[in-house]
Chains A and B, each alone.
Chain A
Amino acid sequence: MGAEVVVRRSGTRKASGGTELWRGLRRRLGEYSLTLQLLLKRPLAAAGLVITLVYVGIAIAASFLPDRDVLLTDVSNPFPQAPWWWGAGKAGSWLGTTYPGIDLATAIFKAIRIDLYYSTLVVLGGALIGMLVGLIAGYRGGLFDEGLMRTTDVAYSIPFLVFAIAVAYVISRDFLTLNLALLILWWPPYARLVRAQVLAVKENKFVEAARAAGASDLRIMFRHVLPNTLAPVFVQVSLDLGVVIQIFAALIFIGFAPHGGYLPELGALIFYGFDAGATSYPWTILFPGLALVVFTVGINLLGDGLRDVLDPRLRR
């Protein structure tokens, strides 16, 4: 299998020209394609990848919809109606409608866009902060390490749900505030993860070799140590995306939604269905809930697959 990859690479090399950057990119793409091939060999991971890609596709497509952040309500017919295939449903409506006359199919499309956008913001932001903190703490050691890691412990000990609620109460109930509140508490696991990796990586001979070649500390940190710690961070990011979407939906569900209007957000959609009477109109919570669960399962499968695939013993 490895041989196959190498042959294909050397094939592309002949055509390659251009700058250092482009050559490097080609190599990187080669590595990624190896990851992809290994990933596709596992049915569950492949399923996770497909689900994730479908959701990302939906999110991108939804940003081309007119009024992408606004839910259009049909006030003339506010009570929930079943989809056409449910039996006696509304013609032309695939997932039915929820109170007050919101078409669920469009609403879920828009909701996925918003949910994915904000959870990515939280997770990537948290990962970046955590990586920086972990890298500095692990590499410098000593008092830096103590100080940063104790700060991390303090941040870790604050329950993020309660903190987000408190912040939303005090400052304002909008998406950005909620997300920043989550972001502030989302980096500690990454800091610990990266620090542990850095502690292992910095003992390697190649770090000493880089130092013997005259590289400065910053260069060693960012060029030589950091890339070696990224694999577990990728895994953690993909696992966290599902978690943050759930937390976000939960916060909106219990009422930390921005005031005014109806929101295209999965938690909010579930809440509207719940409010209208979920026992009479089960589809109103079934479909948004399903959208949430399927995404969480998909991204978790992908994360688990990545964890296996990025294992260096499997690659080398």
Chain B
Amino acid sequence: MVRAADGVNLEIQKGEVLGLVGESGCGKSVTALSIMYLIPSPPGRIASGEIWFQGVNLLAGIQKEAYLRKGFRGKAKIVQNQGLLRKHRARMSKIRGREMSMIFQEPMSSLNPVLSIGYQIAEILIYQRRQEICNRLLSHHQLNDQDLELFREAVSNPDATERGRVLADFCLQTSLPVERVTTIIDRSGLSFDERVERVRRLSERMRLRRRWFLELVRDVDALESEMTSREWRVLSGVATPEDRQRRLAVLARYRSRQSLFRFLMAWPGIRRVLMRPIEEEARRRVLDLLKTVRIPEPHKVFQEFPHELSGGMQQRAMIAMALACDPALMIADEPTTSLDVTTQAQILKLLQDLRKRINSAILYITHDLAVIAELCDRVAVMYAAQIVEDAPVADLFAQPLHPYTQGLLESIVSLDKEVAAGAPLPTIAGTVPDLTNPPSGCRFHPRCKYAFDRCKSEEPKLIPQGANRRVACFLYDGGEAHAGA
């Protein structure tokens, strides 16, 4: 068994960018995937721990998901409670894409080759942010004097082609079906006022029908997310018995609505017609998002497939996807690693600008300390599945405490640094240990130049140093003087 992330303790505030650094194989990505509950399972499993997200413990539901059982020939076997896990996965998929999102390392392989960029982003909006879209649509057009003026023009204009054009304008403005309006106009023996009255009634009917549908969709959406968060609150032990009762009431209401909703969904014609405004609103928002991530010609890119874009554009599209749901937490797993240097700089610039505009927390995973210095507020350094140091960026670069951090900083190639000609670049000797059999005591001690006896036998805890930094090293235990730095 490999503990790929072991005793990781992180905290991200709203609007903060936390950098997570370390060599390859330190468990950075595994940490990110654990937060999203995306660990491939089997073989992966979250054995224990807590993830508190917006006041709720995301792992609350699955604490007893696995138990040991004597299997074939008395061999011990880990058995998972599949029903519990399925429920948990369903809850998590409501959180993912609504509250959390992720940017992956290779944009080319993270985008589906057979779906257009626009579709892939719109899908998230339609299925995860439907509530918001419905809200926007509900404040929809109501017939006013200006429209009636246009309608008068459409009725009274003697020129047929001109009349058609005005009529099209009118229908576009009021989102009424052209055929229905044409029938009203073409019907003989009606006075103008009667026609206006009919159009008004038509518009009102359409509005009501749409409102009815949209409210239904929105409410189901809202209830669903309310239900999951409530469930989690109960599971985390935050909730009271009254809360549990209310939860049952919500559940019952939701069920009754859902059956109605299902019935409606079974009526595909109506559904298609009524979903169209949602789809079109989603399309408008996707175009906005593409503009936000500075993709030139968003209309063109909307219809393009991933292979028609360059790597940088693909990564921008990925970022747009991550932004689509306006997440509270965005995890970026080495988003610039597979890009060339100039594109990397552009993407970093984009992320820097974005973090001012959006108020989501960002967990930025990288092994490039230069990027950390550019972008992050705080840094956590990971080594062999554990956090070894956690500090504000400026402090870390000014005075790295942990010997591993010092080693990382020393091995950066820099123009400012004087290196004697012919001297090899400084590196940290050795490699990351095999996590199936981690070294005893401090995991860094085989590679550490300050290691002493205690390091070999005892495992260091994260020790607070000053106001807001922590380090896991015995050099700083008991207020000893800083070594090294």
Contact = CB atoms under 8 A, between A and B. Distances in A.
B321 A213 contact: yes
B19 to A, nearest CB: 20
A41 interface: no
A293 interface: no
Interface in B99-134: 100-102, 104, 106, 109-116, 119, 122-124, 127-128
Contact of B101 (A13, A212, A227): A212
B93 A20 contact: no
A197 to B, nearest CB: 12
Nearest to B32: A212
Contact of B116 (A13, A24, A213): A24
A213 B109 contact: no
Contact of A209 (B98, B110, B283, B324): B110
B281 to A, nearest CB: 11
A227 B116 CA distance: 12
Contact of A228 (B114, B300, B307, B324): B114
Interface residues of B, number: 42
B331 to A, nearest CB: 8
Chain B residues touching A, majority SS: helix
Nearest to A207: B112
A209 B103 CA distance: 8
A206 B114 CA distance: 11
A279 interface: no
Contacts of B300: 10, 13
Contacts of A204: 109
Contacts of A20: 122, 276, 279-280, 283
B97 A213 contact: yes
A206 B303 contact: no
B217 interface: no
A223 to B, nearest CB: 7
A20 B279 CA distance: 7
Contacts of B95: 214
Nearest to A219: B127
A227 B124 contact: no
A215 B123 contact: yes
A204 B101 CA distance: 18
B88 to A, nearest CB: 14
Interface string A277-294: 000000000000000000
A316 B280 CA distance: 30
Given A212-B96, A213-B124, A214-B96, A227 B114 contact: yes
Interface in B30-61: 36, 38
B94 A209 contact: no
Contacts of A213: 96-97, 101, 123-124, 128, 321, 324-325
Contacts of A205: 104, 106, 109-110
A10 B114 CA distance: 19
Contacts of B279: 19-20
Contacts of A228: 112-114
A29 interface: no
A200 to B, nearest CB: 12
A212 B38 contact: yes
Interface string A195-206: 000000000111
A210 interface: yes
Given A19-B276, A206-B109, A223 B124 contact: no
Given A213-B321, A214-B96, A215-B97, A208 B111 contact: no
A205 B38 CA distance: 12
Given A20-B279, A205-B110, A13 B38 contact: no
B271 to A, nearest CB: 13
Nearest to A315: B307
Contacts of A312: 113
Contacts of A10: 300
A42 interface: no
A238 to B, nearest CB: 20
A266 B267 CA distance: 44
Interface string B76-100: 0000000000000010011111101
Interface string A13-56: 10000011001100100000000000000000000000000000
A211 interface: yes
A193 to B, nearest CB: 17
A312 B280 CA distance: 32
A214 B104 contact: no
A216 interface: yes
A52 B112 CA distance: 32
B329 to A, nearest CB: 12
Most buried by B among A6, A10, A214, A227: A214
A173 interface: no
Interface in A224-256: 224, 227-228
A72 B276 CA distance: 53
B102 A209 contact: yes
A215 B110 contact: no
A20 to B, nearest CB: 5
A116 to B, nearest CB: 29
B126 to A, nearest CB: 10
Given A20-B279, A20-B280, A206 B110 contact: yes
A316 B307 contact: yes
A206 B94 CA distance: 18
Contacts of A209: 102, 104, 110-111, 318, 321
A6 B304 CA distance: 10
Interface in A139-196: none
B128 A214 contact: yes
Nearest to B86: A217
A20 B287 CA distance: 13
Nearest to A208: B38
A310 to B, nearest CB: 12
A224 B38 CA distance: 17
A212 B303 contact: no
A201 to B, nearest CB: 10
Contact of B94 (A19, A211, A214, A219): A214
8 smallest beta-carbon distances between A and B, as pairs? A214-B97, A205-B109, A214-B96, A212-B102, A213-B97, A209-B110, A227-B114, A205-B110
Given A209-B111, A209-B318, 11 more contacts: A13-B299, A13-B303, A20-B279, A205-B106, A209-B110, A211-B38, A211-B96, A212-B101, A214-B94, A214-B97, A216-B90
Interface of A: 6, 10, 13, 19-20, 23-24, 27, 204-206, 208-216, 219, 223-224, 227-228, 312, 316
27 contacts: A6-B308, A13-B300, A13-B303, A19-B279, A19-B280, A20-B280, A27-B116, A206-B109, A206-B110, A206-B112, A208-B110, A209-B110, A209-B318, A210-B112, A211-B38, A212-B38, A212-B97, A212-B100, A213-B101, A214-B94, A214-B95, A215-B97, A216-B93, A219-B127, A223-B123, A227-B115, A228-B113
Interface of B: 36, 38, 90, 93-98, 100-102, 104, 106, 109-116, 119, 122-124, 127-128, 276, 279-280, 283, 299-300, 303, 305, 307-308, 318, 321, 324-325
